[in-house]
Amino acid sequence: MSISLTYGCSVNISRQQLLTVTVEAGELAQRSFRSLSAEQVAYKSEIDLVTEIDHSVQSLLIDRLTRMCPGARVLAEEQQEHRALTDEPTFIIDPIDGTTNFVHGVPHYCVSVAYAEEGEPILGAVSAPALGEVFSSERGGGSYRNAERITISPNGDPRRALGCTGLFGDSRAGRAAAAELMGRALDHLRDIRRMGAAALDLCYVACGRFDLFWERGLNAWDIAAGMLIVREAGGRVSDVHGDTDGVMFSGSVVAANPQLHRWFMETVLRG
């Protein structure tokens, strides 16, 4: 299904159009995959990397999306200043999620783009060019991996569940707390993965590869598209306090089917 969303004359974009632009951006990133030079990598902090490619992918996306939808605002990770999110139509962009993987030649990285209104995502696309997959969703219209409809894992038993988490991209102190929480979860789950690209990790939950994902210390651009894709695949998405409103701006995410989500909140987070 592909519905055009029109708000006045300013915003008119469908899931398919967002997907096409996101795939084009992914192809641009992929052309530099495993051929980056050291000069193309910079440090936002001791552990937080950015590449020239993050900037060129972001420019391509902003150019394409603002030409298609001149009335929309943009919140993108590598912008010099991040404008506060309003209720206005806004594109939320992570030009490369999983930059550390990208720099090290690990294929689990993606381009993530969401279109949000009133603080909630209503279109999302996540392209993983090194893996040949693109995930997309439209509020009320389900979620897709390439052209195939996807649904979340129905498994509610933690002992049979494969979890996934992240360990704070830009804070060593945050990582210690994240590792402690991961240790507690590991006592119950079949196993845990730390893949390194939150937006794509959420898509892996949406299509049932992972049963559960959680992470603290995230930004809106890590969460926006992936959370919609999980919800439209039948999953429950909240912040670590269990709130389901405004998750994008909460800094944290817990995503799973409703049964496993409840278990995680009660047994691991509050236990």
Q: Which residues bind Ca ion (CB under 5 A)?
A: 77, 94, 96-97
* Interface with ligand IPD in residues 73-92 (CB under 6 A): 77
Binding segment toward ligand IPD, per CB under 6 A, in 22-30, 132-140, 192-200, 241-249: 192-200
237 binds, among ligand IPD, Ca ion, none (CB under 5 to 8 A by kind): none
Shortest CB 19 distance to ligand IPD, Å: 20
CB-closest chain residue to ligand IPD: 169
Q: Does 196 bind ligand IPD (CB under 6 A)?
A: yes
Q: Closest CB to Ca ion among 96 and 212?
A: 96
* Residue 239 near ligand IPD by CB under 6 A: no
Q: State yes or no: residue 168 binds ligand IPD (CB under 6 A).
A: yes
Query: 91 vs 10, 51, 52, 54, 66, CA distance in Å?
Result: 13, 21, 21, 16, 9
Q: Which is nearer to ligand IPD, 109 or 115 (CB)?
A: 109
Say if CB 199 and CB 226 are below 8 A apart. yes
Among 225, 116, 103, 123, CA closest to 169: 103
Report what 218 binds from ligand IPD, Ca ion, none; CB cut-off 5-8 Å by kind.
ligand IPD
Under the binding rule (CB under 6 A), the answer on residue 115 touching ligand IPD is: no
Judged by CB under 6 A, does residue 135 bind ligand IPD?
no
Closer residue to ligand IPD, CB minimum distance, 167 or 212: 167
Interface with ligand IPD (CB under 6 A), residue from 78, 117, 138, 222: 222
- Exactly one of 78, 97, 117, 211 binds ligand IPD (CB under 6 A); that residue is 97
Distance CA 191, CA 121 (A): 30
Measured distance CA(152)–CA(168) in Å, rounded: 25
Among residues 94, 85, 90, the alpha carbon closest in space to that of 66 is found at 90
> Which listed option, ligand IPD, Ca ion, none, makes contact with residue 168 (CB within 5 to 8 Å by class)?
ligand IPD
The reply on whether position 210 binds ligand IPD by CB under 6 A is no
206 touches ligand IPD (CB under 6 A):
no
* Residues contributing to the site for ligand IPD (CB under 6 A): 77, 94, 97-99, 166-169, 196-198, 215, 217-218, 222
